[in-house]
Structure 1
Amino acid sequence: MNDLAKNIKKLDNKLSKRPIALDPGGYFIIYIDRENSLICTKYFTNIINEKGLAVDPETGEVIAARGQKNRTEETLFTGRSAKELCVKVIEENPNCAITMLDHAAYLGREFMRAEIALIQGTEYIQD
């Protein structure tokens, strides 16, 4: 890895640790389906409580950022590229639940990271 790449990675790691406001419109879990060469994202609803934490609208339980919680997604979106997935999630979706511009920007970045991992055959872990 060259110096430029190292500096960018260091900056990205630092920025990933900043506090963020959660989108009351919901959240997305992104993953790669290598067998079908697709980038996938599951959309889930949530409510933001008085502490700024995402909670399950049905149970009121806090949704952990890490770990497995069996919830059923509202919608599954798939695309062959980051651009196709953005179009499906945002432009063609009349019920687009993204209510914050920073959330839309985050999804675009993550879809691109997933696309690069799909092309390169490397692991993708959502930030």
Structure 2
Amino acid sequence: MAQSVLDTTALDDKLSQRFIELDPNGYFIIYLDRDARLIYAEHYTNTINDKGLACDPETGEPIPCNGSLKRQASTLFKGRTAKELCIEIFEKSTTCLVSRLDHAAYLGREFVRAEDALLAGEEYIQD
């Protein structure tokens, strides 16, 4: 029996609420440039404190999730497809920016979602 879209959406929503350990090598902000038909991924460095929170390496202060803290990206990646972006980050980059397999898998999923939104002309919001 095939699963309905509602069932899989509910499952994905539930899984998005689970606890995850943050990557000490940093995090990515993903967005689209529709005019250029590109997916962008900005990499930001961070440290992880003893409470498991991502902190600004310069100040040691926790990084708020609401985007109120404006920081300079350490690296900017761009690609026309999810595959091209993954190759740029995971194969061509000389620095290992992702130290956790779950983080790499998350990025792959998000890049595919971003590519789908770009191709469909839909809004993309990073999970």
TM-score bracket, shorter-length normalisation? over 0.9
Output one character per residue of 1:43-71: Cα deviation in whole Å (capped at 9) or x when no partner. 00000000000000001111112233110
Tell me, yes or no, if structure 1 residue 92 matches structure 2 residue 117: no
Instruction: Give me the whole-angstrom Cα distance separating, in 1, the residues matched to 2:56 and 2:105.
Output: 24
Instruction: Give me the whole-angstrom Cα distance separating, in 1, the residues matched to 2:80 and 2:49.
Output: 35
Task: Kindly report the root-mean-square deviation, in angstroms, between the aligned alpha carbons of the 2 structures.
Answer: 1.2
Instruction: Give me the whole-angstrom Cα distance separating, in 2, the residues matched to 1:86 and 1:96.
Output: 13
TM-score w.r.t. length of structure 2: 0.96
* One-letter code aligned to 1:60: G
- 5+ residue gaps, structure 2: none
* One-letter code aligned to 1:46: N
Tell me, yes or no, if structure 1 residue 83 matches structure 2 residue 64: no
TM-score w.r.t. length of structure 1: 0.96
* One-letter code aligned to 1:92: K
- 5+ residue gaps, structure 1: none
User: Which deviates more, 88-97 or 101-110?
Assistant: 88-97
Instruction: Give me the whole-angstrom Cα distance separating, in 2, the residues matched to 1:32 and 1:69.
Output: 21
SS of alignment partner, residue 91 of structure 1: helix
Corresponding position of 1:67: 67
Instruction: Give me the whole-angstrom Cα distance separating, in 1, the residues matched to 2:62 and 2:25.
Output: 15
Tell me, yes or no, if structure 1 residue 103 matches structure 2 residue 115: no
